[in-house]
């Protein structure tokens, strides 16, 4: 009886452990981790962008993005690094960027900053695709870099 | 000589073969368990997703903690500073990708704040967690004392004010005269010692009702030592303190004279002196026995210039008793009155 109990526990623990390993394997083998890295490139670029023009910052992302909010709706295919270089190892991939204003109270709710009276938060979302297949979507909250 | 060797044979135990079998089985089970445990922990240590992610430079839960750190900074920027987990004033949220994040801000010294964030993500088979700690320095622009001429509310309303001193963090004034509005941000601490203040003390919640009141240890605090003469100014006549979320404390040796309306969350005034004006509080009120409160909040009881009796009944009259000099009395008694 004791042997059965011990063996069962061992089998369950081993199964759980192996399942975790398989999950981790697929995470890295199927591109999920690469998609996070590609999304992070956009996030790193966004952190350097000014929120308003005329702040004296020289940071930009390509010829048509001088502020954070100009990133909204941009699709980069092939994907770009934080320094706006083409990521040649992933030429078939793309990064779709969205910048939106959400409620501080409930960040799942998008609000119109011009009419919303509560506190707001700026959210950057990057969807990464391998061809037409969506591999991952990642979001970050941001704060104005010029604020004290 | 004959040597007799005696050999004692111990009888064989009946259960020995069976015992050997149990020992073998137990050894096998223990060996299996030890191997399984070793492999499991080795996998957790070396092959865990989070460990591998960390080695490869990025993990979702780490990014979630960075995101929460930005959220805490934004809360601090807009003046809605979170507190700590232990006081229940921390910030918590769920990221768009499903990680539960918690952010804390602790005042570690006069100019230092420690920010701690924690993110927890639940995948199918494991719980991933990331923590970040950062320190923040109170710098000029966000310094304890800032002079302004306007007050901006979350609604976008802007209140023009003659002279506003914004206090964030800790600020002390000793032996001086002050004037104007003093606006205490959430978590700010204002200490007044031997001060005459002509004006009004406000908190964000007092100035802008849409700004949520600070709670717990994040409430603004006014400490009074020595003497304080707080006289309502001309911008807000008869209003001394509008701070529904503030804690006011004056120690037993203080001498306090407040003239004007006072609202606060807690009032503890244990010194001596007087408070002329209505006192409104939310939680607690404690006035020392040596504090005079004329009218108990019905306003100052100064003598008016003109008495308007109206419908009130006059029940008694009194006249001042003036001392008449002796020579005047003699002159009056000796005076000749014509026609007398």
> Secondary structure of B51-110 in the HEC alphabet?
HHHHHCCCCHHHHHHHHHHHHHHHHHHCCCCCCCCCCCCCEEEECCCCCEEEEEEEEEEC
Residue B4 has pLDDT above 80, yes or no: no
* DSSP assignment string, B176-225: EEEEEEEEEPTT-EEEEEEEEEEEEEEEHHHH-TTSPPP-GGGS-EEEEE
Using the beta-carbon criterion (under 8 Å), do A14 and B123 form an inter-chain contact? no
Residue A18 has pLDDT above 70, yes or no: no
pLDDT attached to residue B157: 63
pLDDT attached to residue B332: 87
* DSSP assignment string, A68-101: GGGGTT-EESS-B-TTS-B-GGGTTEEEEEEEEE
- ipTM value, please give it: 0.78
Residues of A with Cβ-Cβ distance to B97 under 8 angstroms:
137-139
Rounded CA separation B26/A11 (Å):
17
Residue B315 has pLDDT above 70, yes or no: no
Residues of B with Cβ-Cβ distance to A121 under 8 angstroms:
71, 74
Average pLDDT in chain A = 83
Please give the average per-residue pLDDT across A115-132, as a whole number.
Answer: 90
Which range, of B16-25, B45-54, B109-118, B223-232, averages the lowest pLDDT?
Answer: B45-54
Angle, to 10 degrees, between the axis of helix A2-29 and the axis of helix B16-42? 20
Please give the average per-residue pLDDT across B108-126, as a whole number.
Answer: 72
pLDDT tens digits, A46-60: 988 888 877 666 778
pLDDT attached to residue A50: 87
Which residues of A fall below an 8 Å CB-CB distance to B? 3, 6-7, 10, 13-14, 16-17, 19-21, 23-24, 27-28, 33, 36-37, 40, 43, 104, 107-108, 117-119, 121, 123, 125, 137-144, 147-148
pLDDT attached to residue B311: 41
Distance from CA of B74 to the nearest CA of A (A): 5
Say if residues B200 and B236 touch (Cβ distance below 8 Å).
yes
Predicted TM-score (pTM) of the model is 0.49
Q: What 3 state SS string does A26-39 have?
A: HHHHCCHHHHHHHH
Say if residues B118 and B102 touch (Cβ distance below 8 Å).
yes
Q: Which of B40, B58, B66 sits opposite A14 (nearest CB)?
A: B40
Q: Give percent of chain B with pLDDT exceeding 70.
A: 64
Using the beta-carbon criterion (under 8 Å), do A7 and B29 form an inter-chain contact? yes
End-to-end CA distance of chain B: 180
Say if residues B113 and B136 touch (Cβ distance below 8 Å).
yes
Chain A residue closest in CA terms to B66:
A140
Paired tokens of A29: 């083998």
Q: How far is CA B64 from the centre of its chain?
A: 27
Using the beta-carbon criterion (under 8 Å), do B123 and A23 form an inter-chain contact? yes
Rounded CA separation A80/B72 (Å):
29
Q: Give percent of chain A with pLDDT exceeding 90.
A: 32
Degrees, nearest 5: CA angle A28-B63-A60: 105
Residues of B with Cβ-Cβ distance to A105 under 8 angstroms:
none
pLDDT attached to residue B305: 53
pLDDT attached to residue B140: 44
**How far is the CA of B143 from the CAs of A144, B161, B215, B234, B293, in angstroms?**
18, 20, 22, 27, 36
pLDDT attached to residue B162: 63
Residues of A with Cβ-Cβ distance to B48 under 8 angstroms:
20, 24
Distance from CA of B39 to the nearest CA of A (A): 8
Q: Looking only at Cα atoms, what is the longest distance across chain A? A: 77
Please give the average per-residue pLDDT across A66-70, as a whole number.
Answer: 90
Burial of B146 (0-12, 13-18, 19+ CB in 10 A): middle
pLDDT attached to residue A33: 79
Using a CB cutoff of 8 Å and minimum separation of 24, what contacts does A107-110 make?
A107/A141, A107/B93, A107/B94, A107/B95, A107/B96, A108/B94, A108/B96
Which comes out higher in pLDDT, residue B39 or B224?
B224
Q: Which of B39, B70, B156 sits opposite A140 (nearest CB)?
A: B70
Residue A124 has pLDDT above 90, yes or no: yes
Using the beta-carbon criterion (under 8 Å), do B29 and A20 form an inter-chain contact? no
pLDDT attached to residue A139: 92
Please give the average per-residue pLDDT across B107-115, as a whole number.
Answer: 73
Distance from CA of B38 to the nearest CA of A (A): 10
Please give the average per-residue pLDDT across B48-55, as a whole number.
Answer: 57
Using the beta-carbon criterion (under 8 Å), do B77 and A117 form an inter-chain contact? no
pLDDT attached to residue A90: 86
pLDDT attached to residue A134: 92
Paired tokens of A1: 């009886």
Q: How confident is the model at residue B299 (pLDDT cuts 50, 70, 90)?
A: very low
Q: Among A14, A24, A123, which would you mutate to test the B interface (most chain B Cβ atoms within 10 Å of its Cβ)?
A: A24
Q: How confident is the model at residue A42 (pLDDT cuts 50, 70, 90)?
A: very high
Rounded CA separation A20/A139 (Å):
25
pLDDT attached to residue A87: 86
Using the beta-carbon criterion (under 8 Å), do A27 and B48 form an inter-chain contact? no
Please give the average per-residue pLDDT across A64-81, as a whole number.
Answer: 91
Which range, of A118-122, B110-114, B195-199, averages the lowest pLDDT?
Answer: B110-114
Which range, of B145-154, B237-246, B264-273, averages the lowest pLDDT?
Answer: B145-154
Paired tokens of B39: 């492999």
Residues of A with Cβ-Cβ distance to B141 under 8 angstroms:
148
Rounded CA separation B266/B165 (Å):
23
Q: How confident is the model at residue B215 (pLDDT cuts 50, 70, 90)?
A: confident
Using the beta-carbon criterion (under 8 Å), do B142 and A148 form an inter-chain contact? yes
Say if residues B257 and B240 touch (Cβ distance below 8 Å).
no
pLDDT tens digits, B146-197: 555 556 666 666 665 667 788 887 788 888 888 888 888 888 889 898 888 9
Q: Among B35, B67, B155, B205, which would you mutate to test the A interface (most chain A Cβ atoms within 10 Å of its Cβ)?
A: B67
Nearest to B58 by CA among A7, A19, A82: A82
Say if residues B184 and B190 touch (Cβ distance below 8 Å).
yes
pLDDT attached to residue A17: 63
Say if residues B104 and B89 touch (Cβ distance below 8 Å).
no
pLDDT tens digits, B78-104: 777 788 888 888 898 988 888 888 988
pLDDT attached to residue B275: 73
Average pLDDT in chain B = 74
Please give the average per-residue pLDDT across B226-232, as a whole number.
Answer: 87
Residues of B with Cβ-Cβ distance to A7 under 8 angstroms:
29, 32
């Amino acid at each position: 009886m004791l042997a059965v109990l011990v063996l069962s526990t061992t089998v369950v623990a081993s199964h759980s452990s192996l399942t975790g390993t398989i999950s981790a394997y697929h995470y890295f083998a199927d591109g999920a981790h690469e998609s996070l890295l590609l999304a992070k490139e956009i996030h790193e670029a966004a952190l350097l962008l000014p929120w308003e023009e005329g702040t004296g910052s020289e940071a930009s992302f390509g010829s048509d993005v001088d502020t954070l909010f100009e990133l909204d709706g941009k699709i980069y295919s092939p994907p770009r690094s934080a320094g706006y270089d083409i990521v040649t190892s992933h030429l078939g991939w793309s990064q779709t960027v969205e910048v939106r204003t959400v409620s501080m109270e409930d960040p799942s709710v998008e609000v119109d900053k011009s009419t919303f009276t509560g506190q707001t938060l700026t959210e950057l979302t990057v969807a990464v695709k391998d061809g037409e297949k969506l591999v991952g979507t990642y979001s970050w909250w941001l704060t104005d870099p010029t604020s004290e | 000589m004959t040597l007799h060797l005696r050999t004692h044979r111990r009888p064989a135990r009946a259960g020995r073969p069976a015992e050997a079998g149990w020992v073998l089985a137990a050894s096998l089970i223990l060996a299996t368990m030890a191997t399984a445990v070793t492999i499991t922990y080795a996998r957790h240590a070396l092959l865990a997703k989070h460990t591998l992610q960390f080695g490869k430079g990025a993990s979702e839960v780490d990014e979630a903690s960075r995101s929460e750190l930005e959220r805490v900074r934004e809360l601090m920027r807009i003046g809605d500073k979170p507190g700590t987990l232990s006081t229940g004033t921390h910030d918590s949220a769920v990221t768009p990708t499903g990680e539960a994040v918690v952010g804390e801000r602790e005042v570690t010294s006069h100019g230092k704040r420690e920010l701690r964030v924690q993110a927890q993500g639940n995948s199918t088979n494991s719980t991933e967690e990331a923590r970040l700690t950062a320190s923040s320095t109170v710098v000029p622009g966000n310094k304890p004392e800032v002079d302004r001429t306007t007050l901006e509310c979350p609604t976008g309303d802007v209140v023009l004010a003659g002279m506003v001193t914004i206090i964030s963090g800790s600020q002390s004034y000793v032996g001086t005269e002050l004037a104007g509005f003093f606006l205490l941000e959430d978590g700010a601490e204002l200490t007044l010692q031997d001060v005459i203040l002509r004006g009004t003390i406000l908190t964000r919640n007092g100035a802008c009702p849409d700004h949520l009141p600070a709670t717990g240890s994040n409430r603004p605090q006014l400490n009074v030592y020595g003497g304080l003469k707080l006289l309502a100014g001309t911008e807000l006549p008869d209003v001394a303190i509008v701070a529904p979320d503030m804690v006011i404390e004056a120690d037993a040796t203080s001498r306090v004279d407040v003239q004007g309306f006072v609202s606060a969350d807690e009032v503890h005034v244990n010194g001596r002196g007087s408070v002329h004006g209505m006192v409104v509080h939310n939680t607690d009120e404690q006035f020392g026995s040596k504090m005079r409160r004329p009218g108990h909040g019905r306003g100052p009881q100064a003598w008016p210039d003109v008495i308007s009796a109206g419908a009130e009944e006059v029940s008694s009259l009194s006249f001042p008793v003036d001392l008449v000099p002796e020579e005047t009395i003699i002159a009056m008694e000796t005076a000749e009155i014509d026609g007398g």
